[in-house]
Amino acid sequence: MTDNIFEAPMPATFPPLFRGEAVSGSTDPFAKACTQAMIGVDAGLLVHSVTPDRIRAAIVFAPETPLEQAMVAFIACGVGLQHAMGALAPPEVAVHLGWQGDIYVNGGRAGQLRAAASTTDPALEPDWLVVGLEIDLLPQGDGETGNHPNQTCLMMEGCGDVSPIRLLEAWSRHTLVWLNDIENDGTRALHAQWRGLAKGVGEEVSPALPGMPEGIFVGIDEDFGMLLKDKGKTRVIPLSAILETGDTA
């Protein structure tokens, strides 16, 4: 029988190099992973929490490249999620990715990716990098869904039969596949995949980043930095600009 979002959580099985650590619903896996990374936990820790209404998880990475190149793990996690959804969700379900980490299912925002690192200097090699995932299984908040027309959840998009644990496992497997592909062959294939999933390219955007102006999102550079056209000039916003600081992580 297919697991569904209302069943009790079951133990998750992750691929080699990842070590799962389940936490209670009151514990933020992203904050826990950041804390563990700060005290020197090995890379591959995957902290996760599955509750009836939400999946939350975070992976600890130990990059061996400067931060700006290390941020490719953030992109790999996003594309890995889309492939996991493609394997488990009904074929009519479409998943797209926002440059800042928003996750869209059939056009509505259903979750987010987030990231933190030991440094925000793009040229420095970070001691650690954490990428977090949040996906809404059920509608969030107390209001009617009509009050939040741009928000959705997996149940509302026909994914009520997708097991949260199976989705979490599939996310880890597909993410690992992309990380291995990057290590062996570079980022060309990941670039092609991400461009096909990106939301907002060619549109005017107003990123929620300090000091960042509105402009036309015209594409990405080799390190997945945003190419933003503003007043006739194109500037690059490094992907590391989306990192959360230690105060918020």
State the CATH number of the domain containing residue 209. 2.30.30.100
Domain co-membership, 138 together with 170: yes
pLDDT tier at 248, thresholds 50, 70, 90: very low
Domain co-membership, 164 together with 234: no
State pLDDT tens for residues 150-168. Answer: 899 999 999 999 999 999 9
User: Containing domain of residue 53, as a range?
Assistant: 19-197
Q: Is the pLDDT of residue 206 over 90?
A: no
Domain co-membership, 85 together with 154: yes
For residue 6, the model assigns a pLDDT of: 41
Q: Residue 146: inside a domain, yes or no?
A: yes
SS (H, E, C) the chain: CCCCCCCCCCCCCCCCCCEEEECCCCCCHHHHHHHHHHCCCCCCEEEEEEECCEEEEEEEECCCCCHHHHCHHHHHHHHHHHHHHHHHCCCCCCEEECCCCEEEECCEEEEEEEEEECCCCCCCCCCCEEEEEEEECCCCCCCCHHHCCCECCCHHHCCCCCCHHHHHHHHHHHHHHHHHHHHHHCCHHHHHHHHHHECCCCCEECCCCCCCCCEEEEEECCCCCEEEEECCEEEEECHHHHCECCCCC
For residue 143, the model assigns a pLDDT of: 46
State pLDDT tens for residues 164-194. Answer: 999 999 999 999 999 999 999 999 999 999 9
Can you give the pTM of this predicted structure? Answer: 0.91
For residue 142, the model assigns a pLDDT of: 55
Q: Residue 112: inside a domain, yes or no?
A: yes
State the CATH number of the domain containing residue 189. 3.30.930.10
For residue 5, the model assigns a pLDDT of: 42
Higher pLDDT, residue 8 or 41: 41
